[in-house]
Amino acid sequence: MKRKQILVTGGSGFIGSHLCNRLIDDDYDVICIDNFYTGSKENIRHLIGHPNFELIRHDITLPIFLEVDAIFNLACPASPVHYQNNPIHTTKTCVSGSINMLGMAKRQGVPILQASTSEIYGNPLEHPQTEEYWGNVNCIGPRSCYDEGKRCAETLFFDYNKQVGVDIKVVRIFNTYGPNMLPDDGRVVSNFIVQALNNKDITIYGDGNQTRSFCYVSDLIEGLIKMMATPREVTGPINLGNPKEFTMNELADIIIELTGSKSQKIIKPLPQDDPTQRKPNISKAKSILDWYPKIQLRDGLKKTIEYFRSIV
């Protein structure tokens, strides 16, 4: 039997590269598309030359025609520094990129999974966030290109489903961390670990009492695979994230302890529109996908610290 061809857009990025590994391990043929704006060849170097792996340098804002059996649409810079660097292109990636990928799914009648985000909830007034919550989003702020881009992508996914019957799967990914994150992408986990390993000051933005909940990447990948395997009626949106919530001060303390660092915490200004709290309600993921995160923060951080030690 012919191996199934799975397309992963953004396949050389942090999450995409872990997904490519997992799909190759599961004996699929993987086509990875990336424009390498934030994706890194290092993340997939070990797959280049593998008989089941194909790499295409391409920007999904432009049309592309491929024969595939399923699509994971992960392409988009996800860290605030990167998505704010070229905000017009961020919105284009979310909107035009989704239209191109949805067109491919429609032409071939194949399922397509959208990597949406907890950012669609903005600075949430409901806590924890359920999928029913509509969000609290500034449409003209520095985060808007990503937040509104991803919101519009969800709208497109659901309209392609309702209007032309595309088999869609929308997951809302909450903060995720692990090996293959970029050391300089400005995310809190990578920043704190790199700072701690170099015994540099740990930059706490604001008072450090804002919260996030952190999901280790292998848990997230399991959720993506389970979602893609659901029957057609399951469209989502479904939250995927770890409901255990930490303040940025707590995160910094744990990282200082695990690295044995001499770093001190220092206060820096809080970026505009920085959400004060974020924590997923994952009842749907539990009941529909039988999914919940298994890796504890300390265990995931240890693996992530090992990775950064090897590259920094």
Non-local (6+) Cβ contacts of 312 within 8 A are 183, 194, 197, 198
Phi, psi of 50, deg, nearest 5: -70, 135
Q: Which part of the chain contacts ligand UDP (CB under 6 A), choosing from 100-108, 162-170, 187-195, 233-241?
A: 187-195
Q: Which part of the chain contacts ligand UDP (CB under 6 A), choosing from 105-113, 130-138, 157-165, 266-274?
A: 266-274
188 lies in the binding site for ligand UDP (CB under 6 A) = yes
Q: Which of 73, 100, 210, 261 binds ligand UDP (CB under 6 A)?
A: 210
Least distance (Å) from ligand UDP to the CB of residue 121?
11
243 lies in the binding site for ligand UDP (CB under 6 A) = no
Least distance (Å) from ligand UDP to the CB of residue 186?
6
142 lies in the binding site for ligand UDP (CB under 6 A) = no
Q: Which of 99, 106, 271, 288 binds ligand UDP (CB under 6 A)?
A: 271
Phi, psi of 95, deg, nearest 5: -90, -60
Q: Which of 5, 17, 98, 191 binds ligand UDP (CB under 6 A)?
A: 191
**Number of amino acids touching ligand UDP (CB under 6 A):** 15
Tokens of 289: 């996908």
From the candidates 83, 146, 160, 216, give the one annotated as an active-site residue: 146
**Has 177 been annotated as catalytic?**
no
Q: What are the distances in angstroms from CA 204 to CA 66, 155, 215?
A: 45, 35, 20
Residue spans of beta strands (DSSP E) within the chain: 5-9, 29-34, 53-57, 70-73, 112-117, 168-173, 176-177, 202-205, 211-213, 215-216, 238-240, 245-247, 265-268
Q: Which part of the chain contacts ligand UDP (CB under 6 A), choosing from 25-33, 133-141, 201-209, 291-299?
A: 201-209
What HEC string does 35-47 produce?
CCCCCCHHHHHHH
Judged by CB, which is closer to ligand UDP: 49, or 269? 269
